[in-house]
Amino acid sequence: MDEETWSDVFFTILLKDAGCSSNAARVYELYDNDDLLVKANFYTVDHQSLSQVAKFVWSHLAPQAPIREQLSRLVHLAINGNELQNEMVAARCERGASIAKRMGFSDRVAESINGLNEHWNGKGRPNRLSENNIPICSRIALLSHVAEIFYSAGGPAYALKEICRRSATWFDPRLVAALKLASGRPRFWPTLQSANFEETVMSFKPACHTNEVDDTQVDIIAEAFAEVIDSKSPFYIRSFRSCGRHCRCYRGRTGPADGPAAGAETDCITSRHRQVRSKQRDT
């Protein structure tokens, strides 16, 4: 793999979840359950098996709700499930790709993030791409993501078994073969749980894309992260972007951040956070 492609793989994997917050509220609305739990566990289901999908939905559907409400939600998902899944995958992928572009990453990285849920057999989402029509970075990122989920759920043997079972359906068979070969290294799986995991990941950072940024680019990056947070819930729409504008206003009037403005900026953020939490409680 050349250095340019490796750079695209590295940043695609780092940014693959940038759009996840965009469907969090929708998942919670549909399931009345922890959106992180629902989304992570959904990757463990064989989507071509109706019985597995039905079992997953029923086991995650509004666990605290009365049976009548659970059945109502189940009927709604059964009737509209395909359309809803397309909607949520598209929201996640398109938002993630948009954020990557705003932060200055290449079109290849944005395209790869948009293809994260495409499957080798053409039955993925959102565009039903298949085989080599799926960007290589998307294929690697999906395999890595799902391998980590299965490893966390059941250990190395379980992860390899489930990955191999999805070879040529979800995953590129050549990448599955490469994973099997790499996983034979003694430190391959334990590294995922090591205390210095972050340092290990950053040691693979491609040198060809280490750039200095100016104040304008820092603002763009900060706004992109604010967009990630603001997308989490309707209660947060434009909340953190508004905080940023208020902070710049305070700083312009009262001086640098280590002066009197620092307290004003903190008060602004704290006040806005309290407003959001108050709206959530009222609802």
Domain end among 172, 194, 209: 209
* Same domain assignment for residues 202 and 248: no
What are the backbone dihedrals phi and psi of residue 240, each rounded to the nearest 5 degrees, phi first? -75, -30
CA distance 168 to 174: 9
Q: Say which residue, 27 or 175, is predicted with more confidence.
A: 175
**Residue 221, in any domain of the structure:** no
* Same domain assignment for residues 142 and 241: no
> Poorest-confidence range of 15-19, 144-148, 156-160?
15-19
Q: Taking residues 164-182, report their average pLDDT.
A: 95
- Contact (Cβ atoms closer than 8 angstroms) between residue 86 and residue 73: no
> Poorest-confidence range of 106-110, 129-133, 238-242?
238-242
* Same domain assignment for residues 141 and 277: no
Domain end among 209, 241, 269: 209
* Same domain assignment for residues 203 and 257: no
**Residue 193, in any domain of the structure:** yes
Domain count, the chain: 2
Residue 111: pLDDT band with limits 50, 70, 90: very high
What are the backbone dihedrals phi and psi of residue 128, each rounded to the nearest 5 degrees, phi first? 55, 35
Q: What is the pLDDT of residue 52?
A: 84
Burial of 116 (0-12, 13-18, 19+ CB in 10 A): buried
* Same domain assignment for residues 62 and 114: yes
Cα–Cα distances in angstroms (integers) from residue 134 to residues 108, 192, 255, in the given order = 12, 27, 50
Read off the pTM. Answer: 0.74
Mean of the per-residue pLDDT values for the chain? 80
Assess whether pLDDT exceeds 50 at residue 21.
Answer: yes
* DSSP single-letter state for residue 1: -
pLDDT digits (tens, 9 = 90+) for 34-58: 888 888 888 888 777 778 888 888 8
- In terms of residue numbers, what domain contains 272? 233-282
* Same domain assignment for residues 18 and 117: yes
Q: What is the pLDDT of residue 276?
A: 47
Assess whether pLDDT exceeds 80 at residue 230.
Answer: no
